[in-house]
Amino acid sequence: MNVIKLAGILCIAAGVAGLLYGSFSYTKDTEVIKLGPVELSVKEKETVNVPMWVGVGAIVVGGALLLAGGKKG
C-alpha cells in the first residue's frame, strides 16, 4: 500500500470520526503562580468543536486521494 492510499484512508477515518463525535476535549495544565519552591497550577478542560463541513471535506479529500493513488502512471 503506497503513502497516498494510506493518507486517503486516514482522511476518511478522521472525517467519519469528526462527523460522529462533533467535538473533542483535552485538559490543559496552566502554571498560574511560581514563587520560589511554591508552584500553583490550574488544570483547564478545553473543548474543540469540529464543524460538519470539515468532516465532509476530509471524507471527500480522502476519497480523491484513494482514487488518485489507485491510478497507474
> What nine digits make up the cell of 69?
493513488
Phi and psi at 19, nearest 5°, equal -75, -35
pTM of the model: 0.70
Residue 53's pLDDT is 94
**For 1-73, where are the E strands, in sequence order?**
23-35, 38-49
Residue 47's pLDDT is 93
pLDDT (tens, 9 = 90+) of the chain, 73 residues, equals: 688 899 999 999 999 999 999 898 999 988 778 888 888 888 999 999 999 999 999 999 999 999 988 766 5
> What nine digits make up the cell of 32?
498560574
CA torsion angle 55 58 60 66 (round to 10): -140
Residue 54's pLDDT is 94
Provide the residue ranges of all domains of the chain, joining segments of one domain with +.
3-70
Look up residue 39 and give its amino acid: E
Residue 73's pLDDT is 54
